[in-house]
Chain A
Amino acid sequence: MTETEFRLNGRVVRGQMADYATLAAYLRDNLGHFEVKAGCGEGVCGACTVLLDGEPLASCLLLARQAEGCTVETVAAAADGLRQALAEAFVRWEAAQCGYCTPGMLLTAYAYVKGGGSFDSPSIRRALAGNLCRCTGYQHIIDAIAEVVSTWPAEG
């Protein structure tokens, strides 16, 4: 166990972390952040996606101690305009069925739109290639993201 500190959703988290705890396990088991979904453990499904210093990463393939000094955001981070717009578009397009993949989808979409991603379907599909939806509701997810991209002001 080693004292480790990082920022989580705008707050400082400091605690004793087991060397072998993945960030996903630490966020869920120690901090109760169950919006970070436990999926495949192999980095394939995208359910455990978090933003590490703004970049979507699989929190199951990162050790909690590797987040030392970093900024970690889950889907529960305070909503800015873009997060809100994406969440509303997902609701409007009924882009969530069982909802298990939704936090990962939203965070991946957030980074995609913020990074200046294009609204064409092939680009969105490629960006979402690492997020699996086992309800296979992909089309509505892509439609929701495309709508936000086409209406969201590009960052300068």
Chain B
Amino acid sequence: MYPLPFVYKKAQSIAEAVAWAGDDSRFLAGGQSLLPMLNLQLASVGLLIDVNAIAELAAIGEDRAALSVGALTRHDTLARHATVRRASPLLAEAASLVGNPRVRRRGTLGGSVAQADPAAELVTALLALDAEIDVVSPDGRQRYTVPSLMLGPLLTVLRSQELVVGVRVPHREPAEGQAFVEVARREGDFALVAVAARLWIRSGRVARAAIAVGGAAEMPIRLADLEAWLKGQKAGAPLWDAAGERVSDEVRAVGDPFAGAAYRTHLSRVLVCRALAQAERARGAS
């Protein structure tokens, strides 16, 4: 419970936070991943820059194209917010499955993105949603996608001066159904495997699909081949079953002490099938 000593400073603005940042600093948002690492001395830091007081980081808004969610939005807020539930039900559902209630009250969307855990529900959701991630540094503003941001497990391209400030998520379209499903060992655990799916169906056929799998491999992956294969096919349970059978072609599952690679591959197959069926039912639902 005792981190190695560091200096703590509370920033009042984005400009102040990034100006203070240096090679030996980290930003502190919800602290639900960073503080465990500091407590267990798996990480150390010279300067901790608290961004919790920066009100503009917690804003949720929307324009014609997209929903914009501030980096400091807590998981609990994301899960319950009426605008988020309407514009991006998949994102709200994913947020409701993160950690335990205390973690959801404190943990943030931006923190989850910057932490880049391979099994993080929110990163998997953002990958399926083709979300854009806005980052501010002393050099200005930059926009990333999940694939351009994430390099590997707990590893991103972000330098210590770069602060995630918000995420843009395209609105769910009328023909689009979304689903987020996972299997975890216990309520509140990281997912063994999580699947985020978006499905557009027109005249009974799949017009487009977006499927992301988290927890199975070293980082969340998009099943691009499966998405292409689904296109134009007749929607329905037989197709979702057939889609599940093809998942192992793309998911290179890795095992850990909690679940072996074969079991994670199996879960990926089952959950993709389940997510597609659920996304089909969710079309038009608000």
Q: Using a CB–CB distance below 8 Å, which chain A residues touch chain B?
A: 2, 18-20, 22, 24-25, 38, 41-44, 46, 49, 55-58, 60-63, 65-66, 108, 125-127, 129-130
Contact = CB atoms under 8 A, between A and B. Distances in A.
A108 to B, nearest CB: 8
Given A41-B39, A61-B32, A24 B103 contact: no
B1 A25 contact: yes
B102 A62 contact: no
A2 B105 CA distance: 27
B31 interface: yes
Given A126-B187, A129-B100, A130-B100, A57 B35 contact: no
Given A19-B8, A20-B4, A130 B102 contact: yes
A66 B48 CA distance: 12
A25 B2 CA distance: 8
Contact of B186 (A18, A46, A129): A129
Given A25-B1, A43-B103, 19 more contacts: A19-B6, A19-B8, A20-B6, A22-B35, A22-B39, A24-B1, A41-B40, A42-B36, A43-B99, A55-B105, A57-B106, A60-B1, A61-B31, A61-B36, A62-B106, A63-B48, A63-B50, A129-B100, A129-B187
A115 to B, nearest CB: 10
16 contacts: A19-B8, A20-B6, A22-B3, A22-B35, A25-B1, A41-B36, A42-B39, A44-B100, A46-B102, A61-B35, A61-B36, A63-B31, A65-B8, A66-B50, A108-B101, A130-B103
- State the main secondary structure of chain A at its contact with B: mixed
A20 B187 contact: no
A108 B40 CA distance: 25
Contacts of A58: 102-103, 106
B187 A60 contact: no
The 3 closest A-B pairs by CB, nearest first: A130-B100, A19-B8, A129-B187
A152 to B, nearest CB: 19
Contacts of A61: 31-32, 35-36, 39, 106
Contacts of B102: 43, 46, 49, 56-58, 130
Contacts of B7: 19
Given A60-B35, A130-B103, A19 B1 contact: no
Interface string B234-265: 00000000000000000000000000000000
Contacts, number: 90
Contacts of A57: 102, 105-106
B52 interface: yes
Nearest to B187: A129
Contacts of B100: 43-44, 46, 129-130
A106 B188 CA distance: 19
Nearest to B8: A19
Contacts of A127: 101
Contacts of A18: 5
A41 B4 contact: no
Contacts of B10: 65
Nearest to B7: A19
A23 B106 CA distance: 15
Nearest to B52: A66
A20 B8 contact: yes
A13 to B, nearest CB: 18
Contacts of B188: 44, 129-130
